[in-house]
Every structure is written in C-alpha cells, then in structure tokens.
Amino acid sequence: MTEPIITFKNFSFKYDSQAFPTLQDINLTINRGEKILIAGPSGSGKSTIGRCINGLIPNIDTGTITGECLINGKNIKETDLFDLSFTTSTILQDTDSQFIGLTVGEDIAFALENDCRPQNKIRQTVHRWADKLEISDLLKQAPQSLSGGQKQTVALAGVLIDESPIMLFDEPLANLDPASGMKTMALIDQIQKELNATVIIIEHRLEEVLSQPIDRVVLVNDGKIIADKSPNDLLHQNKLEDIGVRSPLYLTALTKAGVDLDAIPDLTSIKALPDDEKIGQKLQKWADDASLTSKKEEKQPLLELKGVGHRYNHLQVNPLRDVTATINKGDFVSIVGQNGAGKTTLCRLICGFIPNEGKILFDDDDLSQYSIKQISEKIGYVMQDPNQMISQKMIFDEVALGLCLRGYSKDEIKDKVFKTLKICGLYPYRHWPISALSFGQKKRVTIAAILVLEPDVIILDEPTAGQDWKTYTEIMSFLKKLNEQGKTIMIITHDMYLMMEYTNRSLAFADGKLIADTEPIRLLTEKSLIKKASLKRTSLYDLAHKYNLRDPNYFVRAYVDSERTSQNA
C-alpha cells in the first residue's frame, strides 16, 4: 500500500529576497502513513521544504518555482493556503507564537472558529481532543502559564482537530526540557499510529528523534538532498558530522572505543545493539585506558547567595525561594531544571533587575547597595533573544554603547571595543550593520557588548537554544575560552550533554527551589533528582548499562574528558 502523498519532482525554489536558490533539484517522494525525519544544519533548506508542504511557499513567501511539488495530488503552485491547510497541519517551532487564543480552550478551537462551525460542535470537538491528550483540566488556563511540554501538547491539539492526513512538525524539540522532549516524541508516535497520518519532523537533534521509530531520514545540506535512507543505513554511512548534524552520542562512543560500526546490523537504538561481550570489553578497555585530567584548584568564593528569592505576584504558585549557594571564581556553572522552575528569575535577581528577598554578596560586598548599572560592571547578563538586547545599528556602536554611557574617552572606547571584538572573532565585521549577521554572530555581539565592561561573572540565558550543532559548538567553545581566561560563567541550559562537557558545576531547580548543587555528572546519577528537575540521562549511561561496564559514571566521565581534550587540540 505505497501511495505517494507528497512528491517533489526536479523541484527548485528561489526566494525573491535572495540571490541564489534555497532548494535545488529536489526529488522526494513520501508515502501515505510514513514517518519521516528531515534533518540538516541551519540554512540547509530543510525548513524551506516544510514551507512547501504546508503551502506557505508560494502563497506567503514569494519566489520562483521550477519543477513540481504535489501535496495530496494538488500542485502547490495552484493551491491556495487555506485549501492546503486541510491537508497539512503544521506545528510551529515557537509554540508561544502559535498560541493566539487567550485560553487553551480558545486556542484549540481557533481553526474551527475560522471555519465558522457552530459553537456546540466546536466545544464537542475541543473536549474530545482535550480528553484524548489529557489536557482537559488546562482548558481555562492561559497558554503562557503552561510548562514547555504542556504547550507542545496544546499546540498539537490545536491542529489535530483538523484531522489532516499530513502532520508537519517544525523543530518540535527546540524549546523543551529533555524529559518533555522525550514525552513529545512518544506522543507524536502514538498519535500517528492511531490516525495513520503521514508525519514529517524537521529537526537537527537526531538522537532524540530516533528515540521513537522513524521510517526514513532525509538529510539536507546546501539546498540539496544528500541522503534519503532508513535511519539504520544513514547511521552506518557515518557522514552526519561532516555537514554539522550531531550523530548519536552512543555511536561516537563506540567509534572512540574502536568498535567497527559496519559489523553491527542495527544502529538505530541502544536496545537494538547486539549483546556482544566483545563490544563491552572494548568499551571497558577504552574507559580503563583513559586517564582523567583532574583539575584541583584553590577555590575562592566570588558570589554568595543567601536565602535569595522573589515572588512576582500573589497568584504565583511556586515562586523562587530560599536559594543559598556560593559561586567560586573561575566556575563554569550550569543552571538546569524544568521550564518555569525559577532559573531565569534567579539570574535576573543576581543582576538586580528585580527585588530580592535574601542577600547576595559579591567579593564580600553586599550587592543591594548598588544600582543595576553598578552591578553590571561586576556581573553581566546576556538575554536569550539577542534581538531584545540590540539597540544600535552598527556592531561597533552596539559594543561601545556601555562605554559611551560611562563617559570613557573616544580613544579608550576604540581601544577596548577593538580588543573585545578580536576576542569575539567579530573584528573583521566591525563596520557591518548588525542586521547582516547570523544568529550565532548576533549572539556574540551581545556577549561582546557585555564583555567590554569587563565583568567578572557573565550569566547567559539559554545561549544555544534552537541552534544547530555548528552554531552550538561555535558559541560554547567561545564561552569555554572566556572561562579559561578567568571569567566566571553561569548558563541556563536544557542540554544535558552541554552541561556535562562544558560546565564544572550544576545548580538544579524544581518548583522554585534549589534541589541540587553538585558536579554535572553526579546530578545525572540520582534518579530522584533527574525526575524532579525534568532532566534526562544521556545515552552514554544506557550504553554503559547495556554492556555492564564496571562504573558507568567513570565511563561517561572518560568520554566527556576525551571530547574536551580533542576540542582543545
């Protein structure tokens, strides 16, 4: 029963606003009921393929089409967006902007309201789907008040009511904590089986998507399809990392240990790996051979939090409260926990943006006596969205702003800004307008603008959220360099592997409370903590367990260590 529902035939597309085609000569057939992953780095054109499938191209994004693209038998050139929306349901990457209704119920009902269905029918349908997805008790809440996982489920409900044959997910994992990410993948799988829908997932986080069965992976790079294979074949081919897509951690670990991947029939999950003692021995030997580089330094307290907390208003259920911790000079701290646990609140407190119930000492100096401006000379804060920080047109001016406002002389400003731009690798672009930069570069501009004031501590809110592996590595290795130069760095993150590889300490939050302050690896050894903070073990643990390695933690540590050293080289 292989009936094609989506066909691209010699398809190319050029946006009007761009000089070169974004998609070139695409040939792709997707059959009814298939579950497809479209993967590729940022700018590869994978999202553009998605925008053809839901009809945004050519209805909203104008451009030149050559070749043919048929969705459920309709040529996208001749089909209007509204017609196509009955065929393709789209869940956008940023669920926050997908939520238009004031309450969950209204939001789910949105498409039916637009179809002008009678109110009682709408209510029935909304309740049916809410029951099915177990979100009935959320119907009267505001979408913004939900956790990341709940948001994703609500967004799903909002398109499921259409019961379209095709469901398109644009980077569903980008804004989710690890545990919610896994749940979402499982939910997608369950829905697909029930409705027998065609599911297309656009994501660059391969390992997480592969936690559920996938029929085919379409790998896109530079506007071309470079692979269209079953996940197993693709993983055997082993060329993901050449184009900047991270391959699953357990496979990298196996390769490091010298295991021949070609000899393993099924690579798609750890469960599917063969129970072969030889593999276990190889892994064990590799771990034993690894000598851990242990840094033991004198620790000098820099930032002391004593009973810190804040309540936004009396309706808030779990306000941040009673946080006590000491950050030492040179620490690289990760702040983790489920969405809404109080992570961002903590950072804003430290910077003096919002009032604080407790006490914060910086170098034994009480911060409450200082203004926001004065604190920022000791502690710099980089917001998640660079667009909310950038107020100038040119890179130089943006970085110089803080100095200008502090009355430095022209020469001093030039000197300091150029020095900072060199550190951040932005010097060649110093006369560029910021609007011409990529996301990663913009992020670096905002970091440079903070760095130029020479704070001892830099706090970053989710610096890598939604970024592909290349940008991720770029940002993180830059932060690592700063850390090595003596800056104390704190980051909020959902990425468990990032936490382990880059940071030496983790603060985990749940429901407004600090529930752990320990080494990242230790954090992931305690099951109760993992559950409370909505974290997830990396697949390295599962691999270690599968082959009964003596000390799984030691194995993970050895792996992280070898990655660290290979990056320094």
Residues 513-552: x where in contact with other proteins by CB under 8 A, - otherwise, as a string: ----------------------------------------
Q: Is 368 in the site for other proteins (CB under 8 A)?
A: no
> Which CB sits closer to other proteins, 228 or 398?
398
Over the Cα atoms of the chain, what is R_g? 25
- Residues 94-113 close enough to bind other proteins by CB under 8 A: 94, 97-98, 100-103, 105-106, 109-113
Site for other proteins in 190-249 (CB under 8 A): none
Would you give the distance in Å from CA 79 to the centre of its chain?
34
Determine which residue in the list 11, 169, 286, 429 makes contact with other proteins, applying CB under 8 A: 429
Task: Identify whether 58 is preceded by a cis peptide bond (ω within 30 of 0).
Answer: yes
Question: Closest separation between CB of residue 66 and other proteins, Å?
Answer: 23
Q: Which helix (H) or strand (E) holds 14?
A: strand 4-15
* Near other proteins by CB under 8 A: residue from 281, 354, 363, 522: 354
Cβ proximity to other proteins: between 98 and 562 the closer is 98
DSSP letter for each residue of 132-190: HTT-GGGTTS-GGGS-HHHHHHHHHHHHHTT--SEEEEESTTTT--HHHHHHHHHHHHH
Which of these segments, 122-130, 193-201, 262-270, 537-545, binds other proteins (CB under 8 A)? 122-130
Which stretch, 301-309, 325-333, 397-405, 507-515, contacts other proteins (CB under 8 A)? 397-405
Q: Which residues contact 122 (CB under 8 A, 6 or more apart)?
A: 109, 112, 113
The set of residues, in sequence order, having a beta carbon less than 8 Å from that of 283 and lying 6+ positions away, is 253, 254, 257, 259, 543, 544, 547, 549, 555
Segment 133-172, which members bind other proteins (CB under 8 A)? Answer: 144, 158-159
* Residue partners of 385: CB distance under 8 A and separation at least 6: none
Residue 105 vs 178, nearer CB to other proteins: 105
Nearer to other proteins, 31 or 59 (CB): 59
Of 1, 118, 369, 409, which one interacts with other proteins (CB under 8 A)?
118
Site membership for other proteins, residue 369 (CB under 8 A): no
The span from the CA of 92 to the CA of 94, in Å, is 6
Q: Which stretch binds other proteins (CB under 8 A): 30-38, 278-286, 321-329, 365-373?
A: 365-373
SS3 labels along 43-108 = CCCHHHHHHHHCCHHHHCCCEEEEEEEEECCEEHHHCCHHHHHCCEEEECCCHHHHCCCCCHHHHH
Nearer to other proteins, 231 or 380 (CB): 380
171-179, 261-269, 384-392, 549-557 -> range binding other proteins (CB under 8 A): 384-392
Interface residue with other proteins among 406, 410, 419, 522 (CB under 8 A) is 406
CB of 250 to other proteins, least distance (A): 36
Exactly one of 12, 290, 353, 561 binds other proteins (CB under 8 A); which one?
353
Residue 96: CB minimum distance to other proteins, A: 9
Q: Give 228 or 474: the residue with its C-beta nearer to other proteins.
A: 474
Containing H/E element for 402?
A: helix 395-405
Of residues 418 and 554, the one with the C-beta less far from other proteins = 418
Give the nearer residue to other proteins in terms of CB position, either 86 or 554. 86
Of residues 260-319, those binding other proteins (CB under 8 A): 312-313
The residues, any chain, with a CB within 8 Å of residue 568's CB and separated by 6 or more, are none
What are the φ/ψ torsions at residue 230 (nearest 5 degrees)? -70, 150
If binding means CB under 8 A, how many residues of this protein chain bind other proteins? 72
Using CB under 8 A, pick the residue from 26, 38, 122, 544 that binds other proteins: 122
Q: Given the complex with other proteins, which of 56 and 529 has the nearer CB atom? A: 56
Of 121, 111, 124, 200, nearest to 163 by C-alpha is: 111
Spell out where 364-521 has E strands.
Answer: 365-366, 379-382, 457-461, 488-492, 505-510, 513-518
Binders of other proteins among residues 46 to 85 (CB under 8 A) are: 54, 56, 59-60, 80-82, 85
Cβ nearer to other proteins, comparing 122 with 346: 122
Amino acid in the structure at residue 482: L
**Residue 544's closest CA among 294, 293, 254?**
254
The arrangement of strands across the sheet holding 513-518 comes to: 379-382, 457-461, 488-492, 332-337, 505-510, 513-518
